[in-house]
A and B are shown apart, each in its own frame.
Chain A
Amino acid sequence: MVKVEKKKLIAAVLVIFLLFPLILPRFYVYLTSLIMIYGLLATSLNLVLGYGGIFQFHHCVFYGVGAYATALILTKTSLHPIFAFIAGPICGSVLSLILGIVCIRLSKLYFGMLQISLGSLVWAIVYRWYSFTGGDDGIHGIPIPEIFASTNGAFYFALMITTVSMFVIYGIVNSPFGKTLQGIRDNPVRCEMIGVNVRLHQLLALTISGFFAGVAGMLFVVVDTTVFPELLFWTLSLEVLIMCLVGGWFTFFGPMLGAGIIILLRTVVSTYTVYWALVLGIILTLVIFFLPNGVLGFIEEKFGRGLKRENV
């Protein structure tokens, strides 16, 4: 019963999104594109965070690298744009695999700390390498293929790719691999004891997660036509982490919802005050106190999966 309703809800949301460019001003269409991109980014993080129990603190590295890979191919080569769109995700996943191999030997918080340092190293390279990446100027006015170049075109492109990606991630989460990942999150030792090679599974999860972060990065280039080093600065990673927490990191759509909440709030709050970070801090504190499972986690507990727990 609930499942059917869920499908209808998703279909309804999709239809509404399809109509957005027809009814909303350009700025809001752009904003919705951003929400989808960050939602996808947060969902890709949540694959390893909420489902995998890996403290990936510096997830934006793969997002930024994906964006830069796309941007560099579009500006510096004459390859067909399709290569640029593919290169983003591939660079994201390859880098994620490499950093993963180095970091996976450490557990929990130590993984996160090492990951932040290595990720910051990548950021430093991008930041300082003027001749190649444009340094802190970034790259502007990236030529996008004509059909996606308009705000609406970019929106539909982002909508299409995000929808497909979300379906794929949803499939992965519910696959045997996804279940195994959740098992590893709950109890890595026990997982080894039932015949699971924990590290290899975690590495695959990190690679997949990096791939979709790269997809999000590629989408950002299409929507924004710029790249800049802040895309892989660790504060952005933190913000994406907060999106997961606010939306609900043990739910599938939580991070997407969290991205919507955070980005909308940031847009609104920023028009009144420069102290956005302060507001964000207060929101996070409130959420942790009152909704430890996030907004969607709270809703599910109240109305949906709470049923599972009634025979406690």
Chain B
Amino acid sequence: MFEAKGLSKSFDGFMAVSRVDLSVEKGEMVAVIGPNGAGKTTFFNLITGILKPDSGRIVYKGEDITGLSPYEIFRKGISRSFQIVNVFQRLTVFENVQLSVLSRENKTWDLITNASKLYTDETEKILEQVGLLEKKNTVSGFLSHGEQKILEIAIALGGKPEFMILDEPTAGMSPEETVRCMELIKRLREEMDLTILFCEHDMDVVFGYANRIMVMVRGETIIQGTCDEVKCNRLVQEAYLGLSDE
């Protein structure tokens, strides 16, 4: 369904992402892990069009989407959430998600209709699914950190995506929040038939939820495989635990 071939990106000679290959099949939940600075976020930025790759190709559903701008990629059905909280701070929770729906429906150029009555059902349904319906009239800047991360996901859902890219969905969450958030993602994936690519630092989360794992170190992929394969791999252990000299 999704394929990245030989993606590379350098910043002033520093190879942030170097010849990364990744393919994701429909319905899979794939995790990208790696130490800080491994290039995970850069990789996601390349996929979602925020950055243009120096070389390599990105193919989604048989179509080359390399070099498209973020809004075009969104319209192909690829949604993304961010590592740092990235919501519309001054809008209410409802408006945050509604905006995403409006955009998907190409209504953002409409100057005449009163927006408050558009797509209320769908927006409320999404909010209900993620459990934010009671807070729908709260200005989103006033939500707790955990709630804002959930709202991130809700905004991404507004695009009716088939492929979701979650950049550290549980960053900064308490252990309980982390579990709740991952259960939510798992449930959403089943309910909405989503394919998910995510990156994460919490290994329990990764091994507990991912079907497949790609490990990145210094911009390069060192292994791709199932959880067990990755766990037993010596290179991974070196990267994470520094066991190389033993």
Contacts and interface: CB of A to CB of B under 8 A. Distances in A.
Contacts of B120: none
Given A177-B111, A189-B50, A195 B104 contact: yes
Contacts of A198: 71
Nearest to B104: A195
A190 B110 contact: no
Interface string A166-200: 00000110111111101101110111111111100
B139 A187 contact: no
B114 to A, nearest CB: 6
Contact of B111 (A171, A191, A195): A171
A156 B226 CA distance: 76
Contacts of A201: 108-109
Given A187-B88, A194-B103, A308-B92, A175 B159 contact: no
Interface in A117-164: none
Contacts of A271: none
B154 to A, nearest CB: 11
Q: Which 3 A-B pairs have the closest CB atoms?
A: A195-B74, A186-B88, A192-B70
Interface string A233-263: 0000000000000000010000000000000
B113 interface: yes
Interface in B127-185: 135, 137-139, 142, 155-156, 158-159
A182 B138 contact: no
B114 A174 contact: yes
Contacts of A2: none
Contacts of A185: 90
A311 interface: yes
A193 B138 CA distance: 23
Nearest to B89: A186
B115 A174 contact: yes
Instruction: Give the interface size class of chain A.
Output: 20 to 34
Contact of A194 (B90, B91, B137, B158): B158
Contacts of B156: 194
A105 interface: no
B142 A309 contact: yes
22 contacts: A175-B110, A175-B112, A175-B114, A175-B115, A176-B113, A177-B111, A179-B98, A182-B95, A187-B88, A191-B103, A192-B70, A193-B80, A194-B71, A194-B79, A194-B100, A194-B155, A195-B103, A196-B103, A308-B139, A309-B138, A309-B139, A312-B142
B50 A195 contact: no
A291 B90 CA distance: 18
A176 B87 CA distance: 18
Contact of A183 (B99, B107, B116, B142): B99
B112 A192 contact: no
Nearest to A173: B115
A186 to B, nearest CB: 4
B36 interface: no
Interface of A: 171-172, 174-180, 182-183, 185-187, 189-198, 201, 204, 250, 308-309, 311-312
Interface in B54-104: 69-71, 74-75, 79-80, 82, 86-92, 95, 98-100, 102-104
A83 B86 CA distance: 47
Given A174-B116, A176-B108, A195 B98 contact: no
A309 B115 CA distance: 21
Contacts of A309: 138-139, 142
Contact of B99 (A179, A308, A312): A179
A167 B50 CA distance: 38
A135 B93 CA distance: 52
A185 B99 CA distance: 13
B15 interface: no
A196 B79 CA distance: 13
B47 to A, nearest CB: 12
A304 to B, nearest CB: 13
A204 B110 CA distance: 11
A36 B88 CA distance: 32
A258 B107 CA distance: 32
Given A187-B88, A308-B138, A193 B111 contact: no
A187 B110 CA distance: 20
A182 B92 CA distance: 11
B118 interface: yes
Given A183-B99, A309-B138, A193 B74 contact: yes
A250 B90 contact: yes
Contact of B69 (A178, A183, A192, A194): A192
Contacts of B41: none
